[in-house]
Chains A and B, each alone.
Chain A
Amino acid sequence: DAGVTQSPTHLIKTRGQQVTLRCSPKSGHDTVSWYQQALGQGPQFIFQYYEEEERQRGNFPDRFSGHQFPNYSSELNVNALLLGDSALYLCASSLAGNTEAFFGQGTRLTVV
């Protein structure tokens, strides 16, 4: 049983560019959440998707957007990249109504 998988593992982008990160949830899970983890910090909640809609959003600007597909996989898009967007981006999946959230290994984004 595959857990949460994220791609790519590492990514280097230039300031001002756009990036798309991908996540496949754990088998049987229907809810996907995205987090940003800066170096030496705890993960910060970006947003959560359920039934292909954004259900909840953290304190992140509109440059951060997402999508969930009918197979429950999800994408995180970040526009107009800033140096401060450099971080580990984590995807977590869960089953609606269940408390346990399982994390992927993350995508390390470096903005230069």
Chain B
Amino acid sequence: QQQVKQSPQSLIVQKGGISIINCAYENTAFDYFPWYQQFPGKGPALLIAIRPDVSEKKEGRFTISFNKSAKQFSLHIMDSQPGDSATYFCAASSMGGGADGLTFGKGTHLIIQP
């Protein structure tokens, strides 16, 4: 049973455009929703995270939008740059990521074309 569904599987965006990746979850006990960025041969790196008490969180060019009733959340990358080309994973956990294992989506391979 896949508890976090991520789409699209791959995404091509022109430089300067907006990249949007979506995730949906099933477990209503989830209360922590991070996004990770992974480059080839590296471990995932935490980008930004949100809790369900807010609907949006912005850090620099990265924004998470959260819809608790729909059990969906998304990552928006504004002014996308070639250096943003990587695989992005959404994840979810309950009782905070430090106290509970993370459940990951299958990932989105993002390519930013110059």
Interface set of A (CB-CB < 8 Å, partner B): 4, 31, 33, 35, 40-45, 47-48, 56, 58, 90, 92, 94-106
Q: Which of the residues A43, A96, A106 comes within 8 Å of B102, measured between beta carbons?
A: A43
Bound form: Cα–Cα A102–B42 in Å: 12
Interface set of B (CB-CB < 8 Å, partner A): 6, 32, 34, 36, 41-46, 49, 89, 91, 96-107
Q: Which of B32, B34, B99, B103 has the most CB of A within 10 A?
A: B99
- Count of A-B contacts judged by CB separation below 8 Å: 70
From B90, which residue of chain A is reached at the shortest CB distance?
A: A42
A98 and B98 within 8 A (CB):
yes
Known contacts A41-B106, A101-B97: does B32 contact A4 (CB below 8 Å)? no
Known contacts A4-B43, A90-B43, A105-B43: does B104 contact A43 (CB below 8 Å)? yes
